[in-house]
């Protein structure tokens, strides 16, 4: 596949739950090194787009391309499912998801949490995986917590452990689904610092966030979604500094004053 192909490209994506259409034809592109933030009010479809992108949920129409390679489907509409299980696994391991609620395994130490997927999914060498897991925990600032269990950590530490776990897969892109919304403001800043550092490293990221400051600080492109459609998109300086649509102006003023 051409190296110039975007890491992730979504074309004309449609997703419905029964008769309720949540995504109504969305296009999003993340080139290598791009940080793309998805903003919009609750129910605008932001998280659903992420879940469709890494095939946790199945869309009914449209294309998802990973490094220029389209996901192959069989069936149509609500019966449409990915046709190739190996392709799904490959794409999902290359688009590591960081969830709002951390999703760490409670019965495993933090180090075991970070090591589990590279060992079981990628089949990598244990000594090598352990070494890189320590390095990623160090990167997110919780190396000293490697032997404790998730319940012994603060929310901010748990989320940083979840980021280390995502990084341990050495993915092509990171998908963040509201990574700070379950956290108190002071713990939120710990996670924001890690995300900013990853952005500075040139990692490809898609971030669903309610934190407009984070979106403004780290994004190359911001996508504002309204009722399942892209209402406006562009560099953060334009979207936040000079919003064109009335809906975006309303959303931003409600966010600032809310």
pTM: 0.93
- For residue 113, give the CATH number of its domain: 3.40.50.300
Which H or E element spans position 16? strand 8-17
Asked whether residue 1 is domain-assigned, the answer is no
Q: Is residue 248 part of a domain?
A: yes
Please determine, for residue 256, whether its predicted confidence score (pLDDT) is greater than 90: no
Say yes or no to pLDDT of 258 above 80: no
In terms of residue numbers, what domain contains 71?
8-257
Please report which residue ranges of 32-184 form alpha helices under DSSP H: 46-53, 85-94, 110-120, 126-139, 155-168
pLDDT in tens, 167-182: 999 999 999 999 998 8
User: Considering the domain boundaries, does residue 133 fall inside one?
Assistant: yes
The reply to whether 191 falls in a domain is: yes
Query: Is position 231 within any domain?
Result: yes
Is the residue at 98 inside a domain?
A: yes
Which tokens sit at 237?
């300086």
The whole-number pLDDT of residue 30 equals 96
Residue 98, pLDDT > 90, answer yes
Distances (CA, A) of 54 to 36, 95, 111, 142: 15, 6, 25, 27
pLDDT at 182: 84
pLDDT band at 257 (very low <50, low <70, confident <90, very high): low
Domain contains 3: no
Residue 3 has pLDDT above 70, yes or no: no
Query: How many structural domains does the chain have?
Result: 1
% of residues, the chain, pLDDT over 90: 91
Cα separation, 75 vs 84, whole angstroms: 13
Instruction: Indicate the SS3 state at residue 97.
Output: strand
The owner of tokens 């919780």 is 142
Mean pLDDT across 68-86 = 95
Residue 2 in any domain: the answer is no
């Amino acid at each position: 596949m051409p190296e110039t192909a975007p890491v992730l490209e979504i074309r004309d994506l449609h997703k419905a739950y029964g008769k309720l259409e949540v995504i109504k034809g969305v296009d999003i592109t993340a080139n290598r090194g791009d940080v793309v933030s998805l903003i919009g009010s609750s129910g605008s479809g932001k998280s659903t787009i992420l879940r469709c992108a890494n095939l946790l949920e199945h869309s009914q129409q449209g294309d998802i391309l990973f490094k220029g390679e389209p996901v192959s489907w069989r069936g149509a509409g609500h019966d449409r499912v990915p046709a190739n299980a190996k392709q799904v696994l490959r794409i999902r391991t290359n688009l590591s998801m960081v969830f709002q609620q951390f999703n760490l395994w409670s019965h495993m130490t933090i180090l075991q949490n970070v090591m589990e997927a590279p060992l079981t999914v990628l089949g990598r060498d244990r000594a090598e995986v352990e070494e890189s897991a320590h390095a990623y925990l160090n990167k997110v600032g919780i190396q000293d917590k490697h032997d404790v269990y998730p319940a012994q950590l603060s929310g901010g530490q748990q989320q940083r452990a979840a980021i280390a776990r995502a990084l341990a897969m050495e993915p092509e892109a990171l998908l963040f689904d509201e990574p700070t919304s379950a956290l108190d403001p002071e713990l939120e800043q710990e996670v924001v610092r890690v995300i900013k550092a990853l952005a500075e490293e040139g990692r490809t990221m898609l971030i669903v966030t309610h934190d407009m400051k984070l979106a403004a600080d780290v994004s190359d492109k911001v996508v504002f979604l309204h009722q399942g459609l892209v209402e406006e998109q562009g560099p953060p300086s334009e979207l936040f500094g000079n919003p064109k649509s009335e809906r975006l102006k309303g959303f931003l003023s409600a966010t600032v004053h809310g």
